[in-house]
Amino acid sequence: MRSRRPLRALGLVVAAVVVTGCGLVSPPTSTDRTSAPTSSAPTATRTASPSPTPAPTPAGRPPGTDSTRRPLATVPDVRPAGFTVPPPGSGTSRYTRQPVDWTDCGRGVQCASVLVPLDWSKPDGQAITLAMARRPSTAPRPKGTLFVNPGGPGGSGIDLVRGFAPPGLGAYTIVGWDPRGVGESTPVECENGTAMDRYTAIDSSPDSAAETRAWIQANYTFGRSCLARSGALLEHISTTDTVRDLDLLRQLMRSPKLDYLGFSYGTAIGARYAQLFPKNVGRMVLDGAVSLGSGGVSQAVGFDRSLTDFADWAARNDSALGGSREAVLDAITGLWDRLDATPLAIPDGRPLTQTLAVTGTISLLYENAEGYRVLDTALTRAVRGDGRALRSLADQFNRRNSDGSYGQLNYAFPAIRCLDGRDGGVQGALAGWRADRRDASTFGKYFGPDFTCPTWPVAARPGPTGSPDAKGAAPILVVGTTRDPATPYEQAEAMARQLDSGRLLTLRGEGHLAYDQSACIRARVDAYLVSGTLPPTGTVCTS
């Protein structure tokens, strides 16, 4: 979904709920709720996993509902855009010594590209390309570099820099980058066009064995399309890979410490960085936390809370959906149930399905109450038989373009999170769905089982197994919003507890992310980043 606020528009690409199989999905859990350089030989393939691993599933056969492991495939020798030879030299020093040539790319922003190793354990092998952007400080005495990341996984840091110039941070040169696999950097590529239309519309909350098999097959086919187009890149786009890239960018920017502002999944990048490089942490702020360890609640619970908030608002504001919370919720779920049986025809031939209706609904639950009137109108029209507005919200959320193509985030998102996840197979996904249905009365059912990673063709590479406490790091400010649906507040509480130097700052409010919707939060975040002044323990903002 697009927002008039550039930060929140990018923040919507957070680790969120599975509604399309390649759209927004839950962070990885223990049940998966969420290599050598390539050669030029066109026939070269190899198993997509380090040893030891289970044998690959035979080609063309998706896993069954009793599966406890991924159906691993072989890696084709393809070279996505940005695959190249490494810089001159040897070892990692060949990358730290490379020049960074900035050029003007409009709107007061400069752009550059640098190289990083595809596999950090083999720096003399294949290289890939990272794209960067910076907004130079205009202050008389610039402070240094502030790295920013909008979330995702798969959000573009370049796009964020182009629309992000908060007055309180003008002393910084603000730098963003498209992480590996994303946007203008070497990108993950998958199926597109009509194949994605089918994938984003298919029933993702199955009611029968046949529908379950169809949902498994759809995810399996999608994953294979990504492997066929992206090859070995899929094995090397984990959060840990991105964190190693970020430390290289810090060195290339001549920053002795990493000052960092991360939103949504960008908080996971920041926390993992602090875990791996605690002594390199400068001033770090993490808004909309995605906890690396245990703790928090599922996003089905978070979105149930937000849907209840919307229903209360609709009942107070004379919505045609109903005059009470219960009536509004019944109208919405009744619509979804009817669409499950009979999608709503739209003149262009692409109907509003149950999955698209759920997607369209959650798209505006990321917002605070300012988005409710638009959501109320779209739902009311759909109840009355016109599904165009609700499908349009789903299309914006899924980043479907006017020509029928889809934004690249749809591919980077599952590829990154599935590499980060742990493999519980289809059985693990079904167990997770049962837990969601127990804990969240509405979205627990309609989000359905997350089969994206259990059918992914590449083995998981979870991050470090040690404690995420980042002992030795400078203070890290963690920001949480009490009614955030996508990154529930409990995740911020958990992250602040896990980090040895964590400090929690709270916004009592609605919507996803706090920095751009609260002057109180902005003032305290800016004060820490610019002057090092932390808010007092227990600070709560209400506006």
The residue ranges of DSSP E strands in 502-541, in sequence order, are: 502-510, 540-541
At residue 113, the 3 state secondary structure works out as strand
- For residues 224 and 434, the answer to whether their CB atoms sit within 8 Å is no
- Please write the tens of the pLDDT for every residue from 30-47: 333 332 222 223 233 344
In the chain, % of residues over pLDDT 90: 84
pLDDT at 452: 97
- Over pLDDT 70: what percentage of the chain? 88
Strands 476-483 and 258-263: unpaired
Helix (H), strand (E) at residue 425: helix 425-439
Catalytic residue among 32, 450, 469, 512: 512
Q: What is the pLDDT of residue 60?
A: 59
As its CATH architecture, domain 83-187+237-293+468-542 has: 3-Layer(aba) Sandwich (3.40)
Q: How high is the mean pLDDT of the chain?
A: 89
**What is the SS3 assignment for 179-214?**
CCECCCCCECCCCCCHHHHHHHHCCCCCCCHHHHHH
pLDDT tens-place string over residues 354-366 = 999 999 999 999 9
Q: What are the residue boundaries of the structural domains of the chain, listed by start?
A: 83-187+237-293+468-542, 194-233+407-455, 299-398
Q: Cα–Cα–Cα angle for 279, 283, 287, nearest 5°?
A: 115
Active site residue 512: yes
Q: What is the mean pLDDT of residues 388-401?
A: 98
Residue-level pLDDT at 61: 85
The mean pLDDT of 372-379, rounded to a whole number, is: 98
pTM: 0.89
Token output for 268: 């996971």
| Contact of 482 with 287, CB cutoff 8 Å | no
User: What are the structure tokens assigned to 481, written together?
Assistant: 């919003």
For the question of residue 264 being annotated catalytic, the response is: yes
Query: How large is the angle between the packed helices 265-276 and 239-252, nearest 10 degrees?
Result: 70
Whether a cis peptide bond, with omega within 30° of 0, leads into 87 is no
pLDDT-derived band at 294 (thresholds 50, 70, 90) equals low
Per the structure block, which two tokens stand in for 342?
Answer: 């009979």
The string of pLDDT tens digits covering residues 203-257 is 999 999 999 999 999 999 999 999 999 999 999 999 999 999 999 999 999 999 9
Nearest to 418 by CA among 4, 43, 103, 27: 27
Q: Is 364 left (phi over 0), alpha (psi -120 to 50) or beta?
A: alpha
Helix (H) or strand (E) holding 311: helix 299-316
CA dihedral (382, 338, 448, 66) positive or negative: negative
Q: What is the mean pLDDT of residues 485-495?
A: 95
Work out the pLDDT band at 422, boundaries 50, 70, 90: confident
Q: Distance (Å, rounded) from C-alpha 92 to C-alpha 298?
A: 39
How do residues 305-334 score in pLDDT, each as one tens digit? Answer: 999 999 999 999 999 999 999 999 999 999
- Give 87's DSSP letter: P
Q: How far apart are CA 62 and CA 336, in angstroms?
A: 28
pLDDT tens per residue across span 139-149? 999 999 999 99
Spell out the alpha helix ranges (H) of 99-238: 157-163, 194-201, 209-230
> Which residues have a Cβ under 8 Å from the Cβ of 430 and sit 6 or more positions away?
65, 449
Of 119, 245, 484, 516, which one is the catalytic site residue?
484
Rounded to an integer, the average pLDDT of 54-78 is: 80
Which residue among the candidates 67, 264, 306, 501 is catalytic per the annotation?
264
Sign of CA dihedral 41, 196, 415, 30: negative
